Amino acid sequence: MMTGMMPGTKILRRWLILLISVPVLAFAAIDVYEFDTPEQEARFRSLTQELRCPKCQNQSIADSDADISGDMRMRTAEMIREGHTDREVVDFFRERYGDFVSYRPPFDATTLLLWLGPGIVLLAGGILIVRLLRRANAAADAEADNEEDEDL
C-alpha cells in the first residue's frame, strides 16, 4: 500500500516549511512607527541613533533589542508626534538616565575629562615620541663622534 508519498518526503516537507517560516518570524519583531511627515520620521531615525541604550554597553536605542530601548523608541516617537524639539527629547531622557544616554554629552565640569581626555593623551603621546626620537638622535651622534675619535 502506497500513499503516493515517499517516506523521506514528509520530513523534507516539514523542514522546508520550517526554513520558510523563520525569516517571516524575524520580521515580526520590527517596530513600525507612523509619522505625519517624512521630516518627523527622519528626526526619529536621527534621535534613535543619537540616544544610547541604558542597559546595553554601546548600542543606540535604534540597534538594541532590550525592552528599555523599545520603550525609549516608543516614547521618542510619541514626543516627536506631540511636537517636541530634538533638544527636548534628548533632555527628557538625560533627566531619567543621566548623560550616559547621549552619545554627545554636554560640555561641563563633570564631562571635562571626557571631552579633553583624548586630546591630552594625544599630546602626551606626541611629546613622548619627540623626546624618544631626540634621545635616539643624540645617542647616534655621540656614537658617531666616538667612532671619529677612535679613527684619529
Using alpha carbons, select from 51, 59, 37, 57 the residue that is nearest to residue 87: 51
Instruction: Determine the residue type at 36.
Output: D
**Spatial separation of the C-alpha atoms in residues 106 and 112, rounded to whole Å:** 9
For the chain, which residues make up each domain, given as ranges? 9-106, 107-152
**Spatial separation of the C-alpha atoms in residues 25 and 1, rounded to whole Å:** 39
Per-residue pLDDT band for 24 (boundaries 50, 70, 90) equals: low
**Spatial separation of the C-alpha atoms in residues 72 and 94, rounded to whole Å:** 12
Q: Is the pLDDT of residue 102 over 60?
A: yes
Q: Does the domain made of 9-106 have the CATH classification 3.40.366.10? A: no
Q: Is the pLDDT of residue 1 over 60?
A: no
Per-residue pLDDT band for 140 (boundaries 50, 70, 90) equals: confident
